[in-house]
Structure 1
Amino acid sequence: MRAPLTIAPSPDTADPRRLSAIASVGDQTVRLATTANVPLAQDSTPWVPPAALVGMRTGRDAVVYGDVSEHAVDGCSGAMSLLRSWYPERMVDVDITAPMSVPSTDTGGRGVGAFFSGGVDSYYTTLKHLDEITHLIFIHGFDIDLWNEDLAERTLVAMRKSAADLGRPLIEVRTDVRVWLDGNGVDWGPEGFGPLLAHVGLALSNVVAKIYIPASNTSADQKPNGSHPDLDPRWSSDAVSFVHDGLEATRAAKVKLFVDSDAAMRHLRVCWWNGKNDYNCGACEKCVRTMLNLYIAGGLERCTTLPDRIPVQAIDNLYLNKSAKTFVAENLAELKAAEVEDPELEAALQRALDRSEFRNQLNAARTIPTGLRNIATPQFFRFWFSRIRPPANEHLKGSR
């Protein structure tokens, strides 16, 4: 086993809304920071999930300095065992060393949160539990890159308005932990995004005692993933418990729940492609899939963040991975069951399901030039140049 990675928190006594740490992996040392518009916990527990992931991916034991919840360390061991069983070719067994403490479990004065990106899963979980939820949580640095300040600010404006419409305060978080995870080989979808949610949730233990994590898949469509019903609760601590929510509902069923919600129809955000840096591009697979959900539920014309017509011909040109084909089949079944007569759309969905893999790969190749144009912005290059310059804490390399 190589030298351990270390995370040494550096509390900012002048700003309780900032959580920072010095992370060392081999001869690379960086300063990490998570900030919010609410006071953050200043113990070391939030650093345990990202330390575990990077340790397992780099083959290094992890040492986290400072007080850490004993419950969180025990749960982390279970999370690591589960990840190891899922990805034996990518993850190795490592140890987590941290000074453990047993903080008070009094939940008085703290609320219930829900991670909120403005997407289908977010609105479903929020509206389903709105009577219980006291705070919504948005993270810049999760699915919107840190360099993309323009899209992040436009999204924040929309999320603030949506939270206000729902009558709940919005906790606004910014973190560069994903950059650190990505830089150390952690695969975002299958491995990284759940532990990043856990990092943020544990950091919010001064404000919330329970946090809902919206599910992406149903109980019938589970597979190893960064957020999973068997994984998310294991990141809980004495102070914060995580609940994976929404396994019972398909994406179509989720849309039916909130299709009459003004907040959702005014601010729904689903796009991962963001062509031309749009809030929703209206043309990628995820946008089209959501438009189909809304169309079948009778709400597409009311949704102001997506085109009000289905681009039927564009369906033939979409690249569909295995997960996307599942959603196509789901939408085709919903369309046939609904009181909607649209033979052209039904035929397009059937062609998508019947498409050969060769044709599917051709569609994938067509998306590459557009994708490169989408990310090749001045902001992107400025951000990554800032990451490769010698850091201000260069003198900390090798320190423990």
Structure 2
Amino acid sequence: MRIGPIERTTADGFLELSVQVTGADGGAADRLWYRIPEEFADRLADTADTFLLAALFASIRRGESLHSEGPVSASLLENLEEFQAAWAQWRPDRYTPIALSADQEVADPDTPDDRSAIQTFSGGVDSAFTTVRHTKKSAGRASLDLTAAVMVHGFDIPLTDGEAYWSLHRRSVPLLASVGVDLIPVATNFRSLWHSDLNDWEDAFGTGMVSVLSLFAGRYRHGLIASSEPYGSLVLPWGSNPLTDGMLSSGRLRIHHDAAGVDRSDKVDGLSRLWPQGADNLRVCWQGERKDANCGRCEKCIRTILNFKVAGRPLPAAFQQDVTPDQIGSLRGLSEAHINPLRQILATARRNGLKEDWTVALEACIASNEDELARGVRYEGGFPQLASAGTAG
């Protein structure tokens, strides 16, 4: 595969950066693009690192070498060799390590590290905890000078749903401003172009997030990706994890897999204490009809509600109603990645001596889904099923 030169176009106050990506067969080129407001153009990187990162999984899936006609950080090319080795070990049936190259391999800048940082922000528990952890300097020596975040249109909110994306963005701008963080809107066709299949997306979404962060390596030296699982309960392989996220770093932008030493229920507890406004504005849902709100019936909404329960925290305003034991028990079609966080909640409940109707329902839910997973039961579309619509408590 070959990545062409970066093309820049402006329209209606937005700057679009795009490249043509041509496969080894010489067929029709794919056009990969990223769009940002022009006011953030002075923060952009001077390399094509973003586009090389974005094309990586498509290239190793096809087993085709990848070459960029734009300049690429030599340190990134080196790190990506180890990154590929990990994924080839994890999924040898799917990925083949390939050669990476660029017309110009550029050295890292010889400038002091000012600890400046930018993060990905979706409005969920993990990203909100990363925000407050660094803005309140509660990460100890790991605390960075976090002053910016990116919210991506085209990842969990499809490009076709602009209304939901901009609704969420408008709500999140003052929320992040309250802790001194700028929110940068970024749209990209990264997912819809090469990773529309859920299996491909679950492997590649980490490179997608880092590709967006790398756009802004002209201003920031560190990129933060919030952990989704704690060290004690990792699910591998998974698109973002503490083993390989750092391998997506360059000398221009060091990538951190943040807060894997904290489980999700403790994140909820910390968020409730340190940034209650952040808790009240959580947006965790990805399956509901409205992508800017929480449906209360998908597995992500339900497990987040359970995180608050097991942490002994009141349900925040982000959720309109509690969940019932019947709804917990009705969850089906969960993958290992969905069951694992539920096991963590149940383990915490047991450690805390909790035995309530919802913990009994959760235990049954986990057992039923583990059984279906072992028997190879699959549901239409391969997605988790929504819980029953029974009246919540």
Answer whether TM exceeds 0.5 for this pair: yes
Change (3 A) 1:276 1:252: same
Q: TM-score when scaled to structure 1?
A: 0.82
Which has more helix, going by share of residues? 1
For 2:314 and 2:110, how far apart are their aligned partners in 1? Answer: 45
- Counterpart code for 1:9: P
* 1:197-346 aligned within 5 A: 197-222=209-234, 223-260=236-273, 261-277=275-291, 279-301=293-315, 303-319=316-332, 320-338=334-352, 343-346=356-359
What is aligned with 2:106?
Answer: 101
- Structure 2 CA distance for aligned equivalents of residues 265 and 145 of structure 1: 24
Structure 1 residue runs of 5 or longer lacking an equivalent are 373-400
Distance 1:248 1:332, change over 3 A: same
Aligned match of 1:122 in 124, 127, 131? 127
2:9–2:17 contact (8 Å) kept in structure 1: no
- Could you say which residue in structure 2 is the equivalent of 1:140? 153
Per the alignment, do residues 244 and 108 of structure 1 end up closer, same or farther by CA in structure 2, a change over 3 Å counting? closer
Aligned position for 1:12: 8
Which of 66, 69, 75 is the equivalent residue of 2:70?
Answer: 66
- Structure 2: stretches of 5+ with no match in the other structure: 138-144, 387-393
Give yes or no for contact 2:167–2:292 (8 Å, CA) kept in 1.
no
Aligned residues: 365
CA pair 280-183 structure 1, distance change in 2 beyond 3 A:
closer
> Does the aligned pair in 2 maintain the 1:52–1:96 contact within 8 Å?
no
Q: Is the CA contact 2:53–2:208 (under 8 Å) kept in the aligned structure 1?
A: yes
Structure 2 length as normaliser, TM-score?
0.84
The alpha carbon displacement at 1:56 in A equals 0.7
- C-alpha distance in 1, partners of 2:115/2:78? 24
Residue 61 and residue 185 in structure 1: after superposition, are their counterparts in 2 closer, same or farther (change >3 A)?
Answer: farther
Match of 1:29 in 2: 29
Name the structure, 1 or 2, with higher relative contact order (CA <8 Å, separation 6+). 1
1:94 to 1:155, Cα distance in 2 relative to 1, 3 A: same
Secondary structure of 2:3's aligned partner? strand
Identity of aligned residues (%): 25
The 3 A distance-change label for structure 1 pair 34 and 109 is: farther
Amino acid at match of 2:59: G
Distance 1:307 1:87, change over 3 A: same
Change over 3 Å in CA distance of 1:345–1:13 after alignment to 2:
closer
Distance 1:7 1:237 in 2: 19
Structure 2 CA distance for partners of 1:363 and 1:52, relative to 1, 3 Å: closer
Q: What is the rounded CA distance, in whole Å, between the counterparts of 2:120 and 2:248 in structure 1?
A: 15
Q: State how far apart, in whole Å, the 2-side matches of 1:74 and 1:244 are.
A: 19
